[in-house]
């Protein structure tokens, strides 16, 4: 469903830009957001609030650790003074250590780092961070890359990017069936290698590419990412004890957003330092992160990872029989 929504986005943006100016890309989200709010209020279950109070201290430490860490990367890209960058990194590191120390002794931690003691869960989280960093390096860089190097218009770029999420949408349910028969580490590794190949071929587009040259490279990237994403997410959720599924889901979202935010900040850094050449370098950096993610995914095929995967399969089988 996420991939289908993402597929509509670039095409809808291209249609809007064909008849209106760029501010309408933001304005259109107001009615869409209101419809989503109404549907959520009507359809989502109203659950009983938790007995414990919200942990504001952990929330503030989390905001400082992640926010200032990403801000430091952004500051380097914008040529801020070294002292400011080091200060941001230092406060982020101290906040992160304080957050981890605080979470260790809480019954309901905001950031359930104790789940990282499960090897297959930790490897899946690491794979997710690397892969989403690669994804966002590509997503942010590609529009600048297509416009600055090849002169495509905004409408053309929206249409050319659309094959990527469509391929994800097609690959995701297939991957969901394959993971019932093949290890998630293997599927994730193959998927991320295909993803890396797609990004690499995009970075090496010919000087005067045709639409087909761009389309098949976008589709290959989406196919690889779709093959990785579903098995990896399933493994992360299933690796945690059932009563900790909410915490595992929160870690899944944290890994995704952390990777995406780091990727976006790295694009800003490369564009600021290398100008137009930074778009191509961002794609090559995406290749590197995708290959790193593939290696981390394959580590789940090691004896320790295989034991963890067997536990996941047993837990999933018990859950299905229980239902």
Q: Please report, for the domain that includes residue 220, its CATH number.
A: 1.20.1250.20
One domain for residues 96 and 176:
no
Percent of the chain residues topping a pLDDT of 90: 39
Mean pLDDT of the chain: 86
- Residue 275 has phi, psi (to 5 degrees) of 65, -140
Name every residue whose Cβ is closer than 8 Å to that of residue 247 and which is 6 or more positions away in sequence: 109, 112, 115, 240
Among candidate residues 165, 148, 119, 39, the one with its CA nearest the CA of residue 308:
119
Does residue 258 form part of some domain? yes
Q: Which is higher by pLDDT, 243 or 101?
A: 101
- Show the tokens assigned to 35: 């419809």
What value does the mean pLDDT take over residues 103-125?
A: 82
One domain for residues 203 and 81:
no
Could you give the number of structural domains in the chain? 2
**Contact 127/259 with Cβ under 8 angstroms?**
no
CB atoms within 10 A of CB 299: 18
One domain for residues 83 and 176:
no
One domain for residues 145 and 279:
yes
Final residue of a structural domain among 111, 128, 150? 111
Final residue of a structural domain among 64, 85, 111? 111
Does residue 292 form part of some domain? yes
Q: Lowest-pLDDT range, 31-40, 134-143, 249-258?
A: 249-258
CA 222 from chain centre, in angstroms, equals: 13
What value does the mean pLDDT take over residues 126-155?
A: 90
Give the Cα separation of 108 and 52 in Å (integer): 8
Q: With H, G, I as helix, E, B as strand and everything else as coil, classify residue 102.
A: helix
The pLDDT of residue 320 is: 46
- Count Cβ atoms within 10 A of the Cβ of residue 253 and give its class: 0-12 exposed, 13-18 middle, 19 or more buried: exposed
Is residue 108 pLDDT above 80, yes or no?
no
One domain for residues 147 and 117:
yes
Q: What is the pLDDT of residues 222-258, one digit of tens each?
A: 999 999 988 888 888 888 887 777 778 888 888 888 8
What value does the mean pLDDT take over residues 155-178?
A: 88
CB atoms within 10 A of CB 190: 19
- Count Cβ atoms within 10 A of the Cβ of residue 216 and give its class: 0-12 exposed, 13-18 middle, 19 or more buried: middle
The pLDDT of residue 307 is: 56
One domain for residues 93 and 143:
no
CB atoms within 10 A of CB 56: 9
- Show the tokens assigned to 85: 């960058």
One domain for residues 63 and 201:
no
Give the Cα separation of 119 and 231 in Å (integer): 16
Percent of the chain residues topping a pLDDT of 70: 92
Q: Which is higher by pLDDT, 13 or 98?
A: 98
Among candidate residues 299, 269, 297, the one with its CA nearest the CA of residue 285:
269
The pLDDT of residue 40 is: 93
One domain for residues 199 and 308:
yes
Give the Cα separation of 284 and 290 in Å (integer): 10
Helix ranges restricted to H, 162-210? 163-178, 184-203
Final residue of a structural domain among 78, 111, 144? 111
Residue 99: which domain range?
55-111
- Count Cβ atoms within 10 A of the Cβ of residue 120 and give its class: 0-12 exposed, 13-18 middle, 19 or more buried: buried
- Give the CA angle between residues 62, 65, 66 to the nearest 5°: 85
Does residue 317 form part of some domain? yes
């Amino acid at each position: 469903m996420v991939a289908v929504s993402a597929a509509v986005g670039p095409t809808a943006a291209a249609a809007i830009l064909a008849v209106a100016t760029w501010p309408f890309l933001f304005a259109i989200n107001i009615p869409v957001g209101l419809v989503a709010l109404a549907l959520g209020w009507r359809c989502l279950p109203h659950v009983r609030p938790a007995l414990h109070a919200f942990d504001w201290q952990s929330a503030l430490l989390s905001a400082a650790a992640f926010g200032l860490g990403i801000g430091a990367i952004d500051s380097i890209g914008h040529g801020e003074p070294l002292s400011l960058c080091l200060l941001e990194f230092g406060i982020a590191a101290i906040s992160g250590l304080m957050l981890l120390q605080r979470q260790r002794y809480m019954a309901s931690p905001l950031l359930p780092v104790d789940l990282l003691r499960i090897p297959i869960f930790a490897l899946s989280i690491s794979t997710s961070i690397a892969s989403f960093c690669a994804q966002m390096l590509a997503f942010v860089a590609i529009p600048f890359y297509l416009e600055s190097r090849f002169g495509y218009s905004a409408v053309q770029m929206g249409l050319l990017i659309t094959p990527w999420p469509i391929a994800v949408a097609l690959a995701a349910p297939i991957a969901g069936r394959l993971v019932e028969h093949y290890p998630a580490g293997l599927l994730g590794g193959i998927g991320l290698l295909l993803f890396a190949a797609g990004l690499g071929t995009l970075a090496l587009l010919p000087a005067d590419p045709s639409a087909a040259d761009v389309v098949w490279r976008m589709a290959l990237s989406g196919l690889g990412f779709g093959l990785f994403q579903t098995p990896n997410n399933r493994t992360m959720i299933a690796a945690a004890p059932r009563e900790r599924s909410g915490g595992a889901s929160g870690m899944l979202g944290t890994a995704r957003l952390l990777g995406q935010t780091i990727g976006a900040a790295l694009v800003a850094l490369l564009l600021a330092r290398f100008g137009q050449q930074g778009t191509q370098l961002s794609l090559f950096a995406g290749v590197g992160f995708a290959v790193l993610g593939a290696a981390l995914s394959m580590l789940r095929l090691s004896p320790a990872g295989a034991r963890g995967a067997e536990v996941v399969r047993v837990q999933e089988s018990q859950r299905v029989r229980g239902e």
